[in-house]
Amino acid sequence: MSRNLTADLAADLRMRIVDGVIQPGEKLPSENTLISEFGVSRTVVRSALTRLQAEGLVETERGRGSFALTPPPADAQPVPATRPVVSLEDRARLLEFRIGVESEAAALAARNRSERQLQAVRTALEEFTASGTHPAHAMKSDYEFHRAIAAATGNPFYSDCLAALGQTMIAMPRTRLMTGGEHHVREHFEQVVLEHESIYAAIAEGDGASSSAAMRSHLANSRRRLRTPAAGRPAGS
């Protein structure tokens, strides 16, 4: 029964978003409002929202609520698979590509971001900073940091590009996660945190040129670290 209630609530909210009743960026009704309006439990509400998140129709921010995203057009085609990254040379080329794309994205984010989007960048930065002893968490929060900046550009093609690349644009080959000493790992991680903080600070200031320069420096450093043979490192952009 609860599965049907979840599906019904998800379908109703989906229709509101697709039909434009709830506009992109607009906050969805609160959990309590949906519970009262549909006569369902909190579990059903959260399950329906989770389903819409998976469909890319809703973004939920802890402590702030759920917001509608731009629905895809009815004839939208799936994002094509990207070229596989199977070698260090592939990863170096990917970083070269990202320098061009994400440096401009950072500049646009500085000019166009909303306060909510800036907070999403900040939240991802905080989660990355707290993830130093968990490489898998670091990879995920690192990716979310770059995705949040892409979203803050106001241009959905940047978000589409990073979505197509996926989290593997961050992850280092597993062998490089396991080499080197603890000191090298911590030193590398702290450096990446500082670079992320510089990017965030420039975007928060609305300084497009500094944001672009900070992102370019960060990704160029990532490319340099990739080619340093003796360093054992956790995830890093």
Separation CA 206–CA 209 (nearest Å): 9
- Kindly report, residue by residue over 138-187, the tens digit of the pLDDT: 888 899 999 999 999 999 899 989 988 887 788 553 333 334 445 566 78
pLDDT(194) > 80: yes
- Domains of the chain in start order, with CATH, are 2-68 (1.10.10.10), 88-226 (1.20.120.530)
What are the backbone angles phi and psi of residue 236, rounded to the nearest 5°?
-165, 145
Mean pLDDT of 202-209: 97
Residue 234 tokens, joined = 């956790």
Whole-number mean pLDDT of the chain?
A: 83
Indicate the pLDDT class of residue 230, thresholds 50, 70 and 90: very low
Q: Where are the alpha helices (DSSP H) in 113-207?
A: 115-129, 135-152, 156-165, 174-177, 182-205
- Kindly report, residue by residue over 45-55, the tens digit of the pLDDT: 999 999 888 87
Three-state DSSP state, 179: coil
- Kindly report, residue by residue over 66-96, the tens digit of the pLDDT: 888 877 665 555 555 567 766 778 888 999 9
